[in-house]
């Protein structure tokens, strides 16, 4: 499977991270995980395969989702990677319009919805 | 004659001031002669009548607000039992018919002061008025005489208008502030209620997830589970347990808040207890490749509440485990120092920045490293640990650890306080009582807190003079610098270590506000306040007292003797800042008004700035609410996320590869519970939001049947289990509503119908009239008892006994709120045993948006 699609999961809660990685791998994706925005940026700039989408948590230590989006937007090499914001915030879409992800998904997400938001494996 | 008391009535009536005395129901019970003269009234005609009856607004002046302002002020006095000074008012006094009738214009500066009865309640209100009409008229005449009479006169009336306008603004700002306080209080209550509800209700489904899981993992033959399956089930169990911990945290918090948590002292071996608790974390630590060491004496007898101490330790240890990176070290050490035990829990994690070492013990306070970044975790664990330690009259602090991370140091007295019941072999030692009050405990806490960084030290009263000057009075150095650090840099700080020093400093520096501790050696806060009030120059200086929760009576006394506000320790810095800022705003506004009156020259920008400041205080209250909702939501939903994803993945895997019907079944049932938990969390968040502000609708144009079918889909499993067929009758009805919320309305009503009428059919009928739609949901269930019918749309009411069904009893309440936000109505009818019918009527679009319907119709295909 040399052409398999790669998805990056940025999420500080290890269990959530692993659960998502587990289902995505089951669905045929290659998954890269990062526990915060800063680790994710490091991986992206350090030769990790370019993901076809990033699943991004917002409230994270060290570098949160907002800071990650800002860093991503200012880096031409990364700016156009689609981002799915996965958040527990009750009203994120209206509260943080500045984040402008490609898709908003509320925690806990339905697996079908999550998979549908990704480019096909 | 010498022994007879003077005739107080005659003295009062002859007093040279304008006095009116009101009963608490605002009837006039006495008036001075001067008052009668000024108002052109006769005593016999006004006594016993309501003040607003006697002095109505001039009906010819639609702008008149005097009565409303006076009413607001009087109500404030009744509520606060404190005096209330009103802004200068323009009153139109009714002229007796004999003198030509009509109204005469008067400018009054009224003060309303309560007279408290022996029971502490308001017995009378003295309404004292200073008549400044002559002053104002004199000014007018002077100007009329001058050469530029015309222009000046205009200017004067402009300025007067300006002054009155601003006086009104001040009043409305007052009202705004009052609303703000009320809402803050409501929020507090809501939070406590929310915790209690969330905790009780979430525990049931969690138990239902954990029970079957444990059975599957532990029953005989469990070893036949595939390794992969076992791993997955264990993960699910771990997440559910985590959620249970959070829920327990919330429950504890609500108990602590309600003051219902008490200690149950027992003779215990603290050393064994510590070892046992640390042991419980061994496997968790091993899993993360953490070295976990415990050092404790062989035996250490102590009188503590063993369960609570275990809880404290567990919270600290789980914190350490959570924040220490893999392959790190954690050490727990128990030692004795005199009559206290010290427990140190330290780790090699990232540690805690010096300026966060106090904040980590605040609840819902995410650790923030100053760059707006968050360290995650609930923060509840530490807040609870601290509360439990406080109950033990112990102390907790955090400091850097030799291991490189944070060291949490807990000190607990080895003996229960004198008089406390101690289980098994009580041995009362008379010297053991510490007698510490809550206030002292708080002090102790700050004692152990590290002194703040340079910015936290009280600065000299220099710098930008536009910043308010706050005098901080506390005999405790660290407390002083803590308060100062809360208020800097927005405010300039001067400090005093005693009441005597405070008076000297106040006379020298003329501060805008005084923030004083109540318990000080030497002059107490109360004595300081009395001393200040005695000096005319400082009689109105805002005084905020820092009090301990325990001393409610004292607090009330302080407020009664003229303190403007109080802040309960331990407090959140924002709260103190907001309260001080409010007092500064009030004081400065008053000064501006006084200056404007004296010189007829106003500084409008300044006032505008003050008002803007108050508005931002209101916005902050909303922000507090939103942050609370976001945090609660985050904490509860994160474990649900892992749980749901795992379960759905598991179900998909079982579908693909097979894994035994039992696993599929267990996962299905666990999924249903997860959905129920998510629903409950949504419900509670919705209610919290509903009650803390207006509901904002997200309107779109759609066929109401879409919402109906979405709700039916949501409940399809439930309906299937209850063998309840659902029929929908009626054609398309297009309107403009909030789709998500309307779906909630239908699913809440429908959910009820299914719950209370299993096995009988439910009919949903839609009917459109000219500009409304009628939605009827009819079931054949047990019906609603007539005595419950009028209340079923209230909060926390349900038509069946609490334990019989899940849910919070909030469903119909939420439905009502949503329907009302759509300007619709909701009603129920029922005959016992013959089912119930709930009818919702909605306008096709709320009036507020009807104007844009045409534009919308063209865009919506």
Give pLDDT tens digits for B629-682. Answer: 666 677 777 777 888 888 888 888 777 776 666 777 777 777 777 777 777 777
Query: pLDDT tier at B332 (50, 70, 90 boundaries)?
Result: very high
Token code pair at residue B116: 């408290």
Return the minimum-mean-pLDDT range out of A12-16, B381-385, B458-462. B458-462
Residue B42: Cβ within 10 Å count? 11
Residue A67: Cβ within 10 Å count? 18
Query: Is the pLDDT at B607 greater than 60, yes or no?
Result: no
Burial class (CB in 10 A: 0-12, 13-18, 19+), A1: exposed
**pLDDT on residue B251:** 67
Q: Which residue in B has a C-alpha nearest to residue A91's C-alpha?
A: B630
Q: Note the pLDDT tens digit of each residue in B11-50.
A: 888 888 889 999 999 999 999 998 888 888 889 889 999 8
Measured between CB atoms, which of B629, B637, B652 is closest to A107? B637
Residues in chain A closer than 8 A to B634 (CB atoms): 59, 87-89
For residues B127 and B19, the answer to whether their CB atoms sit within 8 Å is: yes
Q: What is the mean pLDDT of residues B336-356?
A: 89
**pLDDT on residue A63:** 86
Query: pLDDT tier at B138 (50, 70, 90 boundaries)?
Result: low
* Structure-model confidence comparison of residues B691 and B68, the more confident one: B68
Quote the CA–CA distance of B254 and B422 in Å, as a whole number.
Answer: 25
Q: What is the mean pLDDT of residues B431-448?
A: 26
Chains A, B: CB contacts under 8 A, how many? Answer: 95
For residues B798 and B836, the answer to whether their CB atoms sit within 8 Å is: no
Measured between CB atoms, which of A12, A18, A90 is closest to B630? A90
Whether residues B376 and A61 touch (CB distance < 8 A) is answered with yes
Q: Which of B7, B20, B19, B17 is nearest to B47 (CA)?
A: B20
Query: Is the pLDDT at B445 greater than 50, yes or no?
Result: no
Q: Note the pLDDT tens digit of each residue in B481-537.
A: 778 877 877 888 999 988 999 999 998 888 989 999 887 777 888 889 888 888 888
For residues B271 and B325, the answer to whether their CB atoms sit within 8 Å is: no
Burial class (CB in 10 A: 0-12, 13-18, 19+), B437: middle
Give the length of chain B.
861
**pLDDT on residue B175:** 67
**pLDDT on residue B376:** 35
Nearest CA to CA, how far is A80 from chain B (Å)?
Answer: 25
Contacts of B74 (CB under 8 A, 6+ apart): B22, B26, B51, B84, B112, B125, B127
Contacts of B474 (CB under 8 A, 6+ apart): B480, B483, B495, B497, B516, B517, B520, B546
Q: Note the pLDDT tens digit of each residue in B770-826.
A: 889 999 999 888 777 777 777 777 755 444 443 334 444 577 888 888 898 888 999
Give the mutation candidate from A70, A87, A108 for the B interface (greatest B CB count, under 10 A).
Answer: A108
Quote the CA–CA distance of B758 and A87 in Å, as a whole number.
Answer: 36
Question: Cis peptide leading into A24, omega within 30 of 0?
Answer: no
Burial class (CB in 10 A: 0-12, 13-18, 19+), B625: buried
**pLDDT on residue B392:** 92
Give the mutation candidate from B234, B352, B638 for the A interface (greatest A CB count, under 10 A).
Answer: B638
Q: Which of B163, B150, B130 is nearest to B19 (CA)?
A: B130
For residues B789 and B812, the answer to whether their CB atoms sit within 8 Å is: no
Q: Note the pLDDT tens digit of each residue in B142-191.
A: 555 544 445 545 655 566 666 666 666 666 666 666 666 666 666 666 66
Nearest CA to CA, how far is A21 from chain B (Å)?
Answer: 10
The pTM of the whole model exceeds 0.80: no
Q: Note the pLDDT tens digit of each residue in A46-105.
A: 878 899 999 999 888 788 898 999 999 999 889 999 999 998 876 788 778 888 898 999
**pLDDT on residue B575:** 72
Residues in chain A closer than 8 A to B689 (CB atoms): 90
For B724, half-sphere exposure in the C-beta direction (CA atoms, 13 angstrom radius) is 26
Quote the CA–CA distance of B440 and B448 in Å, as a whole number.
Answer: 12
Q: Which of B10, B32, B1 is nearest to B19 (CA)?
A: B32
Quote the CA–CA distance of B351 and B536 in Å, as a whole number.
Answer: 52
Token code pair at residue A12: 């500080």
Give the mutation candidate from A12, A35, A57, A61 for the B interface (greatest B CB count, under 10 A).
Answer: A61
Q: Which residue in A has a C-alpha nearest to residue B239's C-alpha?
A: A15
**pLDDT on residue A41:** 93
Instruction: For residue B353, give the 3-state DSSP assignment.
Output: coil
Q: Which of B518, B213, B266, B516 is nearest to B392 (CA)?
A: B266
**pLDDT on residue B860:** 35
The overall average pLDDT reported for chain B is 74
Nearest CA to CA, how far is B725 from chain A (Å)?
Answer: 26
Token code pair at residue B288: 């993360």
ipTM, 2 dp: 0.71
Return the minimum-mean-pLDDT range out of B226-235, B499-508, B696-705. B226-235
Give the mutation candidate from B284, B630, B635, B688 for the A interface (greatest A CB count, under 10 A).
Answer: B630
**Ranges B114-123, B219-228, B229-238, B569-578, most confident:** B114-123
Query: Is the pLDDT at B838 greater than 80, yes or no?
Result: yes
Residues in chain A closer than 8 A to B672 (CB atoms): none
Residues in chain A closer than 8 A to B375 (CB atoms): 61
The overall average pLDDT reported for chain A is 87
Q: Which residue in B has a C-alpha nearest to residue A64's C-alpha?
A: B373
**pLDDT on residue B453:** 31
Q: Which of B743, B737, B749 is nearest to B812 (CA)?
A: B749
Whether residues A15 and B235 touch (CB distance < 8 A) is answered with yes
* Structure-model confidence comparison of residues B353 and B239, the more confident one: B353
Query: Is the pLDDT at A38 greater than 70, yes or no?
Result: yes
CA-to-CA dists, residue B275 to A90, B245, B293, angstroms = 41, 21, 10
In the beta sheet, which residues pair with residue B365? Answer: none
* Structure-model confidence comparison of residues B519 and B448, the more confident one: B519
**pLDDT on residue B204:** 61
Q: Which of A65, A83, A20 is nearest to B646 (CA)?
A: A20
Query: pLDDT tier at B398 (50, 70, 90 boundaries)?
Result: very high
For residues A111 and A78, the answer to whether their CB atoms sit within 8 Å is: no
Q: Which residues of B touch A (CB under 8 A)?
A: 235, 238-239, 242, 366, 372-376, 626, 629-630, 633-646, 648-649, 652-653, 674, 678, 685, 689
Query: pLDDT tier at B426 (50, 70, 90 boundaries)?
Result: very low
């Amino acid at each position: 499977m040399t052409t398999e699609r790669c998805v990056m999961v940025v999420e500080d809660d290890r269990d959530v991270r692993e659960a998502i990685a587990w289902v995505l791998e089951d669905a045929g994706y290659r998954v890269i995980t990062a526990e915060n925005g800063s680790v994710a940026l490091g991986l992206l700039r350090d030769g990790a395969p370019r993901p076809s989408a990033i699943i991004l948590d917002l409230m994270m230590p060290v570098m949160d989702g907002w800071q990650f989006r800002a860093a991503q937007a200012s880096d031409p090499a990364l700016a156009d990677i689609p981002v799915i914001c996965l958040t527990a915030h009750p009203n994120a879409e209206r509260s943080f319009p500045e984040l402008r992800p490609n898709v908003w998904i509320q925690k806990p997400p339905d697996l079908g919805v999550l998979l549908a938001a990704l480019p096909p494996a | 004659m010498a022994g007879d008391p003077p005739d107080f009535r005659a003295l009062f009536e002859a007093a040279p001031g304008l006095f009116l005395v009101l009963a608490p129901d605002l009837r006039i019970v006495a008036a001075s002669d001067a008052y009668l003269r000024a108002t052109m009234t006769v005593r016999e005609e006004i006594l016993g009548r309501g003040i607003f009856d006697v002095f109505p607004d001039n009906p010819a002046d639609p702008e008149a607000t005097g009565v409303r302002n006076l009413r607001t002020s009087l109500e404030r006095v009744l509520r606060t039992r404190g005096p209330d000074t009103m802004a200068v008012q323009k009153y139109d006094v009714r002229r007796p018919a004999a003198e030509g009738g009509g109204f005469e214009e008067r400018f009054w500066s009224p003060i309303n002061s309560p007279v408290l009865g022996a029971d502490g309640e308001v017995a009378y209100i003295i309404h004292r008025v200073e008549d400044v009409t002559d002053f104002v008229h004199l000014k007018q005449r002077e100007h009329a005489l001058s050469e530029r009479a015309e222009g000046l006169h205009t200017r004067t009336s402009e300025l007067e208008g300006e002054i009155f306008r601003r006086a009104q603004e001040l009043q409305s700002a007052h009202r705004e502030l009052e609303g703000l306080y009320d809402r803050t209080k409501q929020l507090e209550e809501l939070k406590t209620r929310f915790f209690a509800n969330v905790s009780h209700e979430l525990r049931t489904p969690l138990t239902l997830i954990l029970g079957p899981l444990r059975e599957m993992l532990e029953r005989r033959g469990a070893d036949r589970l595939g390794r992969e399956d076992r791993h997955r089930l264990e993960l699910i169990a771990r997440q559910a347990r985590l959620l249970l911990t959070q829920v327990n945290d919330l429950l504890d918090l609500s108990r602590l808040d309600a003051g219902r948590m008490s200690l149950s002292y027992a003779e215990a071996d603290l050393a064994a207890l510590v070892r046992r608790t640390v042991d419980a974390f061994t496997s968790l630590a091993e899993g993360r490749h953490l070295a976990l060491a415990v050092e404790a004496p062989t035996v250490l007898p102590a009188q503590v509440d063993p369960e609570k101490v275990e809880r404290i330790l567990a919270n600290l240890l789980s914190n350490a485990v959570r924040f220490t990176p893999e392959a790190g070290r954690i050490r727990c050490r128990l030692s004795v120092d005199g009559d206290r035990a010290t427990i140190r829990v330290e780790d090699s994690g990232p540690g805690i920045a010096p300026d966060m070492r106090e904040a980590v013990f605040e609840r819902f306070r995410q650790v923030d490293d100053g760059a707006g970044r968050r360290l995650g975790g609930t923060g509840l664990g530490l807040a609870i640990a601290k509360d439990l330690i406080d109950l033990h009259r112990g102390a907790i602090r955090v400091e850097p650890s030799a291991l490189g991370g944070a060291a949490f140091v807990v000190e607990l007295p080895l003996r229960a306080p004198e008089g406390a019941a101690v289980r098994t072999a009580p041995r009362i030692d008379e010297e053991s009582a510490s007698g510490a009050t809550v206030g002292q405990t708080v002090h102790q806490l700050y004692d152990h807190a590290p002194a703040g960084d340079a910015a936290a030290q009280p600065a000299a009263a220099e710098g930008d003079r536009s910043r308010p000057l706050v005098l901080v009075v506390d005999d405790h150095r660290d407390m002083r610098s803590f308060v100062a650090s809360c208020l800097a840099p927005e405010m300039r700080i001067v400090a005093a270590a005693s009441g005597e020093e405070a008076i000297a400093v106040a006379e020298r520096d003329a501060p805008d506000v005084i923030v004083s501790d109540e318990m000080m050696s030497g002059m107490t806060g109360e004595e300081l306040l009395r001393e200040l009030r005695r000096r005319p120059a400082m009689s109105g200086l805002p005084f905020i007292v820092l009090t301990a929760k325990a001393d409610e009576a004292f607090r009330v006394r302080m407020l009664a003797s003229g303190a403007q506000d109080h802040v309960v320790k331990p407090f959140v810095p924002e709260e103190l800042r907001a309260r001080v800022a409010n007092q500064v705003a009030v004081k400065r506004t008053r000064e501006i008004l006084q200056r404007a009156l004296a010189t007829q020259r106003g500084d409008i920008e300044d006032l505008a700035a003050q008002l803007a400041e108050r508005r931002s205080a209101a916005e902050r209250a909303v922000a507090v609410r939103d942050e609370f909702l976001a945090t609660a939501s985050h904490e509860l939903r994160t474990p649900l996320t892992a749980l749901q994803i795992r379960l759905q993945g598991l179900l998909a895997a079982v579908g693909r590869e097979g894994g035994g019907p039992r696993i599929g079944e267990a996962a299905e049932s666990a999924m249903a519970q997860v959905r129920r938990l998510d629903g409950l969390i949504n419900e509670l968040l919705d209610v919290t939001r509903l009650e803390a502000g207006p509901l904002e609708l997200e309107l779109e144009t759609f066929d109401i049947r879409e919402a109906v079918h979405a709700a039916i889909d949501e409940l399809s499993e439930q309906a299937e289990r209850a063998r309840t067929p659902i029929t929908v009758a009626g054609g398309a009805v297009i309107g403009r509503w909030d789709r998500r919320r309307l779906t909630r309305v239908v699913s809440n009503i429908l959910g009820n119908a299914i719950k209370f009428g299993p096995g009988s059919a439910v009919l949903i009928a839609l009917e459109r009239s000219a500009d409304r739609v009628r939605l009827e949901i009819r079931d054949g269930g047990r019906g609603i008892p007539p005595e419950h019918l009028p209340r079923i749309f209230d909060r926390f009411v349900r038509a069946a006994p609490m334990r019989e069904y899940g849910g919070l009893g909030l469903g119909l309440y939420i439905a009502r709120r949503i329907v009302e936000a759509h300007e619709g109505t909701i009603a129920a009818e029922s005959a016992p045993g013959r089912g119930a019918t709930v009818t919702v009527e909605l306008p096709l679009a709320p009036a507020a948006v009807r104007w844009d319907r045409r534009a919308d119709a063209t865009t919506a295909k």
